[in-house]
Structure 1
Amino acid sequence: MPAADQAPAQNPVSRVETQSNEPLDPFAKADEGNGEEYDPWESVNSNIFEFNLKVDRYVLKPVAKGYNYVMPDLVQVGVSNIFSNLRFAPRFLNNMFQGKIKGAGIEVGRFLINSTVGLAGFFDVAAKVDLVTPEEDFGQTLGFYGVKPGPYLVLPLLQPFTVRDFVGYVGDVFLNPINWLVLPIIEVDDVPSVIAHKNRTTTSIIQFGGRVGEIINDRSRNLEKFQGVEEATLDLYSAVRNAYLQKRTQAIRE
């Protein structure tokens, strides 16, 4: 009997499989920029989103408020600049992957200026001379070559993703030489590192501490912004999903 004549209702994922007679391809749905918010895992995503929201409300936000009270704005901006400077390599490489030679050149110029005159990236001196370019990541590179975003994805204690952008997120970890030359969470044969590969505990503590510090610093800088969004939005899950998908679509078009 044809699938259309069967009585039982099917969920959206099952319908995709039935219509195509093939297993679901996570990248096959939701063309870029067509206005569709493809969220077949919404029930799970929304529960994880609520968990993340509680962690933010009861843990991260209070810590960020205390941090904001003792840390001057100048230092907070400087800390953000340093972390941004450390991610130069993935941005440069993704510009090259997309053939954006001008963007890659600007990234090199920014890194050299900010690492020297900007005191290891604490000051964004390059921006003062209008040396700026849109940030590129591996998720955008995949989109540039036609990989579709796939389903919306929410994971515990992480930012929102699509399946494509999560793959890109992992890819950028591998593209950052800090992760295999300085603080090696990735071991490459015959490639030395500042901290020996065998000292995994030291590496893990520094990596984890740096990431937590960056998150607290960024949350501190956005206290009022996030508060305003929470107070003005009835359906926060949908609002965050919509904002994220629109932002990523625009980033790929730039």
Structure 2
Amino acid sequence: MIYALRWLMSLIFIIQMYLAMVVYALAYAPYAILSRNGAWAGIHAYCNYVRATAHLLVGLRSEIRGQVPEGEVLIASKHQSFFDIILICSVVRRPKFIMKKELKWAPLLGFYAWRIGCIPVDRGKKGRAIAEMKKAVAAGSAVPGQLIIYPQGTRVAPGAALPYKVGTGLLYQQITQPCIPAATNVGVFWPRHGIYRKPGLAVVEFLPAIPPGRSVSDFMAELEQVVETASDALMAEAGFTYSKAA
């Protein structure tokens, strides 16, 4: 009975969350057309709304740990579900993303992505995608903000293993900015697929910066080690443990 009620509340939460996305996008559109600040203001307002309603409707509280990145930095984050995007964008002042090229044609979402300086790339062709990514980052460098990338390239379920892609290291080498690793446990409560949302405390943790100037191989090794270690600790705190393959 309790599970059925929570499942129903999860469904209500999801429906209202996507309806609110349309409402916020339309409400802030005039401001966003006039100024990039309007686009970021709409994104912040919506993300904080989702955090509040997740707590209210499904008992999913959320918390940001560590120092929120400021200035021109690269944020390399663990990605487990839509909710880690929500948490990061609720506090980072000027977020922009490396995103799938197809998303730029999505109604409303594509407009906001373009307005805040997101960088679309073709992820289906590895070599070309890396070249496109580097070129697009260079071309988009005039848009100030914090560039967010997911080193594993997609959402990864808690406990699943997926390699870190070298494209993050190549970007780090090119833009010569500090990289802020970010860990999370949101997938424990908000899975990649399905409706049910579990109550608990979802966390995104910003970790100490990796300064520019490392070799790509050293950077990638350090990034994976710190993000995976911190994410495992956050998931264990949430009651999720697993055995890593030897």
Same structural fold, with TM-score higher than 0.5 when normalized by the shorter chain = no
Indicate the structure with greater helix content.
Answer: 1
Structure 2-normalised TM-score?
0.25
Return the index of the structure with the highest Cα Rg: 1
